[in-house]
């Protein structure tokens, strides 16, 4: 697809959440678009309405990528339900409403594949939203992200705002959170395999049964898909952004162990939850527009491990 419906050249483009893994990848990707990239400093707490409105009134972005969110892995989602629900509801409500009030023409909201029912038919199509009960470990986050999709749809219907939503599968890559208490599985396994190798441990500890299936997309591919959608897509439906294949957590652990050079066994910890059994997304809507991912899993894991070794590991604590 060549003709863009929205050209970013020369536009003032705000990336909300530019310090996070996804936001920082979007900033890197936007450097090729010839736009002016805007970010807000920490003083603008996106959970507070007044500073968000003041920032939009002063900066008036043409386009917004809403990548700011309270995020974390299965354990953090379960442990901090109030932060995952309240912070995400406030961030998205404040940013979406301010964008509508201060003349933003295009906004892309980022959700998550956990918006879908726990037992959704696989691969999961966009229309599976709100057709069944959610996975209990992350229903707080999922409810907030569903509200974000609905805000974009409601502002489109009532105020004619061209706001869209993208639903990424599980993401990984540079800028990930390596705090073992709050991280997702990929950075956790990279760090644990590395530390097990250095300590000469007999086994790599892996949460749960190892049987759940997950689909992983490199964050640079996600950022590319976000820019693609901003340029080419307008519509009420959210759009799935996946890699197209999934892998069991046990096989992921073996792949990470190999990339890191850890030769020991894998020890499954049954006291930790498995979460959703499978959440492979159907990304044919996006594929039909002409977008494809470019980073395969082994290359992506090697890059993520190299980044970890270079000291690029961020840690995000959620304790109150």
**The binder of ligand GFB chosen from 20, 61, 175, 208 (CB under 6 A):** 208
* Summary count for the chain: helices (H), strands (E): 11, 12
**The binder of ligand GFB chosen from 14, 207, 233, 305 (CB under 6 A):** 207
Find the catalytic residue in 80, 141, 155, 305.
Answer: 141
88 binds ligand GFB (CB under 6 A): no
Question: What is d(CA 238, CA 167) in angstroms, rounded to the nearest whole number?
Answer: 7
We find the least distance from the C-beta atom of residue 121 to ligand GFB, in angstroms, to be: 18
Helix axes of 88-101 and 139-159: crossing angle, nearest 10 degrees = 10
214 binds ligand GFB (CB under 6 A): yes
Look up residue 87 and give its DSSP letter: I
| Closer to ligand GFB by Cβ: residue 12 or 197 | 197
Contact predicate 92/152, CB 8 Å: no
Q: Is 93 helix (H, G, I), strand (E, B) or coil?
A: helix
Which positions from 47 through 76 interact with ligand GFB, judged by CB under 6 A?
73-75
Question: What is d(CA 277, CA 122) in angstroms, rounded to the nearest whole number?
Answer: 11
| Closer to ligand GFB by Cβ: residue 40 or 149 | 149
Which positions from 250 through 309 interact with ligand GFB, judged by CB under 6 A?
272-276
Which positions from 178 through 197 interact with ligand GFB, judged by CB under 6 A?
183-185, 188
**Binding string, residues 103-142; x marks residues near ligand GFB by CB under 6 A:** ---------x-x----------------------xx--x-
Residue found under tokens 């805000």: 151
Question: What is d(CA 37, CA 21) in angstroms, rounded to the nearest whole number?
Answer: 17
Give yes or no: 116 in active site: no
Residue 151 has a CB neighbour count (10 Å cut-off) of 23
Contact predicate 15/27, CB 8 Å: yes
Catalytic residues: 141
| Footprint on this chain of ligand GFB (rule: CB under 6 A) | 73-75, 77, 112, 114, 137-138, 141, 170, 183-185, 188, 206-208, 212, 214, 249, 272-276
């Amino acid at each position: 697809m060549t003709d863009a419906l929205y050209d970013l050249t020369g536009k003032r483009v705000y990336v909300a959440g530019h310090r996070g893994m996804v936001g920082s990848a979007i900033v890197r990707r936007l450097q090729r678009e010839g736009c002016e990239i805007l970010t807000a400093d920490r003083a603008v707490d996106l959970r507070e309405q007044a500073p968000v409105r003041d920032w939009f009134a002063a900066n008036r972005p043409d386009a917004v990528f809403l990548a700011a969110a309270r995020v974390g892995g299965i354990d953090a989602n379960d442990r901090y339900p109030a932060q995952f629900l309240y912070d995400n509801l406030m961030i998205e409500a404040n940013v979406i409403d301010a964008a509508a009030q201060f003349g933003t023409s295009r906004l892309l909201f980022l959700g998550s594949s956990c918006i879908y029912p726990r037992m959704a038919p696989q691969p999961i199509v966009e229309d599976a939203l709100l057709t069944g009960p959610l996975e209990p470990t992350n229903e707080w986050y999922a409810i907030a992200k569903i509200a974000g999709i609905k805000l974009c749809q409601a502002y489109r219907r009532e105020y004619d705002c061209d706001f869209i939503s993208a639903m990424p599968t599980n993401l990984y890559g540079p800028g990930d959170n390596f705090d073992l208490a709050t991280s997702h599985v990929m950075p956790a396994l990279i760090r644990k395999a590395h530390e097990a190798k250095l300590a000469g441990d007999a086994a790599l500890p892996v949460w749960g049964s190892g049987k759940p299936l997950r689909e992983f997309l490199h964050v640079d591919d996600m950022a590319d898909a976000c820019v693609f959608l901003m340029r080419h897509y307008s519509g009420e439906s959210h759009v799935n952004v996946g890699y197209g294949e999934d892998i069991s957590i046990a096989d992921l652990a073996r792949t990470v162990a190999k990339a890191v050079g850890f030769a020991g066994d894998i020890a499954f910890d049954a006291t930790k939850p498995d979460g959703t059994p499978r959440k492979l997304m159907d990304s044919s809507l996006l594929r039909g527009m002409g977008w494809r991912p470019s980073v395969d899993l082994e290359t992506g894991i090697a890059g993520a491990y190299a980044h970890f070794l270079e000291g690029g590991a961020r840690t995000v604590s959620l304790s109150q």
